[in-house]
Amino acid sequence: MNISNSGHSVDIVEVTKTFANVTAVHKVSLNIRKGEFMTLLGPSGCGKTTLLNMVAGFETQTSGAIQIDGKDISDVPPYMRETGMVFQSYALFPHMNVFDNIAFGLRMRKLPAREIKAEVERALDMMKLSGMEGRRVRQLSGGQQQRIALARAIVIRPKVLLLDEPLSALDKNLRLQMQVELKELHQKTGLTTIFVTHDQGEALSLSDRVVVMSRGEVQQVSAPIELYTQPANGFVASFIGEINALPKARCQKSGQDFRFEVCPEISLNGRQPARQELKDGQMVHIFIRPEHIEIAGPRHNGANIVKGNVAAHIYQGTHTQTRVNVPGIGLVELRTKGAAAIDQAPLGSEIALSVPLDEAVILPA
Ligand SMILES: Nc1ncnc2c1ncn2[C@@H]1O[C@H](COP(=O)(O)OP(=O)(O)OP(=O)(O)O)[C@@H](O)[C@H]1O
Ligand SMILES: [Mg+2]
């Protein structure tokens, strides 16, 4: 079933938004492709809602342009932009029933009653709400209200779907279920979607590409896997997933051999990072994920072994997060499968860690 008006692109060109004395969005340029699921991800206050509101037309940019299918829509009022929006708070009409909530946008557009009924039924069906038309919004659960907000956004056959943290009010299980439904909705409709979240797991699992924002600026635009494995800078490395940031290290390069001196006692062997040309003597930041560090067995005598004392185990079912105090580095987190580490490395004991840099992120300092 194709309910959508699919296949529209959005271009955000050098857009800046300044409120009195706050620059909420600073020179942001993005190209959202036809049918793409694009996520804006970043901490609270980084400008996600402001950017979405400018696409919807609820805010006007201070400078720059917003285009749909290459046409500037800066002067088009919100109700004529053909964008469907789900707000950070669902913003349903509490005094209306489900049908009337969903039908609202169609009535504003003065569609004939028969057409409204058919379109609302289609949206109800798509959001698995059939049979609930007569219910009062107040009597529904958070997840059901969320589906109504989504139905209300898609019923107008928008060119672009704008979703501002639509799942943030839901508990974890419902949230996971709604993530699957959102993904199905996107696959069914092919709607170009701009999704806002500050939950990185949600961003990685749903998106074709993710825009990481900080303080009104774009830090990186990448597909999820690239974002996780090749963060462009320290902010992205630390914001996406967990990562150990080692103290600044000096790169010692001779031919193809790279050593990184983290402190006088610790040097780690590595190789030329994928995207950076490092020079001998250059200072770098090394980031390494907890799942890439291992407890080294007694027979392990290779390179990149560091010693430290076990400070904590945090058992999490599928894995254990272990915190080790390494002199010269500080606290290092590692993640191992199951509960084996708890017996293998008792609290307070000295253990050896293997710290390979093959999958580390190495950035110029
Ligand atoms: N109408 C406004 N007047 C003044 N400042 C505003 C206004 N709206 C937003 N701001 C400021 O702009 C910045 C960005 O706000 P925005 O709501 O876009 O952030 P956000 O990324 O959506 O955050 P959150 O994750 O908390 O929803 C903040 O510093 C905020 O205080
Ligand atoms: Mg917001």
Q: Is the dihedral of CA 310, 311, 315, 318 positive or negative?
A: negative
Tell me how far the alpha carbon of residue 250 lies from the centroid of ligand 2, in angstroms: 40
Ligand nearest to the CA of 198: 1
Whole-number Å distance between alpha carbons of 153 and 182: 13
Q: Which of 46, 196, 213, 239 to mutate to test the pocket of ligand 1 (most atoms within 8 A of CB)?
A: 46
pLDDT value of position 5: 56
Q: What is the pLDDT of residues 124-153, one digit of tens each?
A: 988 888 898 999 988 888 888 888 999 999
pLDDT value of position 276: 77
| 356 ligand 1 Cβ < 6 A | no
Amino acid letter, 333? E
Tell me how far the alpha carbon of residue 61 lies from the centroid of ligand 1, in angstroms: 14
Q: What is the pLDDT of residues 154-197, one digit of tens each?
A: 999 999 999 999 888 788 888 888 899 899 989 989 999 999 99
Q: Which of 22, 58, 162 to mutate to test the pocket of ligand 1 (most atoms within 8 A of CB)?
A: 22
Residues 6+ apart with CB under 8 A from 217: 26, 27, 28
pLDDT value of position 3: 47
| 46 ligand 1 Cβ < 6 A | yes
Within 10 Å of residue 2's Cβ, how many Cβ atoms?
9
Q: What angle do CA 106, 108, 114 make, to 5 degrees?
A: 40
Window from 39-48, 112-121, 283-292, 299-308 with minimum mean pLDDT: 299-308
Tell me how far the alpha carbon of residue 47 lies from the centroid of ligand 2, in angstroms: 7
Atom 4 in ligand 1: which residue has the minimum CA distance? 19
Q: What is the pLDDT of residues 264-288, one digit of tens each?
A: 999 999 988 777 789 999 999 999 9
Atom 14 in ligand 1: which residue has the minimum CA distance? 47
| Alpha helical stretches, state H, 272-353 | 340-344
Q: What is the pLDDT of residues 190-236, one digit of tens each?
A: 999 999 998 999 999 999 999 999 999 999 999 999 999 999 999 99
Q: What residue ranges define each of the domains in the chain, with the CATH number in brackets?
A: 10-239 (3.40.50.300), 244-364 (2.40.50.140)
Distances (CA, A) of 274 to 230, 270, 290, 293: 9, 12, 20, 20
- Of the candidates 170, 171, 153, the one whose C-alpha atom is nearest the C-alpha of residue 162 is 153
Whole-number Å distance between alpha carbons of 331 and 353: 12
Query: For 113-117, what is the mean pLDDT?
Result: 94
Asked if residues 295 and 336 have their Cβ atoms less than 8 Å apart, the reply is yes
